[in-house]
A = this chain, B = another copy of it.
Amino acid sequence: MKKTERASGNVTLPAPAGGSASAGGHRRGPLTRERILRTALRIMDEEGLDAITMRRIGRELGVEAMSLYNHVEDKDDVLEGVSELVLSEFEFPEPVEDWEESVRAGARAWRSLLLAHPNVCTLLSERRKPIGSPEALKPIEYALDVLHRAGLTEKETVQAFRLFGGYVMGSVTMQVGNMMTGVDGAPLMTPEELGAVLPPARVPRFLQMLPHLQECDPDEDFEFGLDVLIAGIRARVRRRARTASATG
């Protein structure tokens, strides 16, 4: 290799060059881009995005921070790699005959993946590049196929694809950010402190819905959203079928 390339093709050397099996960090193989990214991902999952530092990754691998630069471009490259690593884990479930059920399954799988790495939403929202990694391509193919089978036009298929993708991403972002619910079941706001801010007569709906705003089952909410989305698509397809048959 001339420079630190992004290729994930890793040669397996029998012995690490100049590698002294050090104390503390457990070194169980040669240093690779792959191992660096997996370590960074684990750190992110366990301690958050800010915990990813070059020195930290190095310590975890029993190596100095600067050694990492032989395998990655810079820290951005690490974060980029972590994103791709997570995305590459995605497996679109094998489609079934019913497109609705296939869509549901795909959306659930996508959601599960994001929830398994809660900080990846933030990470993905930081990066400003398209997802088009080759590994992500097969799932996209599946998703497009399933949605197309629902009876959508080509353009609508792509739009629906983005719609589901965006919904899942937004929904997970709000869930892991505790944005619209109490934290750990604790109330978002008690009626008392609410009353201190705004006269209750001004926010009748809010007070009326407060119980449902407090306790919130993310899974149930997600399924509700899926139902609505699918019903909406079904309605659109059916309506077009009707007007088409009326015209033709």
Contact = CB atoms under 8 A, between A and B. Distances in A.
A21 interface: no
A209 B124 CA distance: 24
Interface string A129-167: 111101001101100110010000011111111110111
Interface residues of A, number: 76
B180 A131 contact: yes
B170 A221 contact: no
A3 interface: no
Contacts of A204: 141
A225 interface: yes
Given A130-B183, A236-B231, A221 B154 contact: no
14 contacts: A49-B126, A130-B181, A130-B183, A134-B198, A141-B204, A144-B209, A158-B216, A160-B228, A165-B170, A166-B167, A166-B171, A168-B170, A232-B233, A232-B235
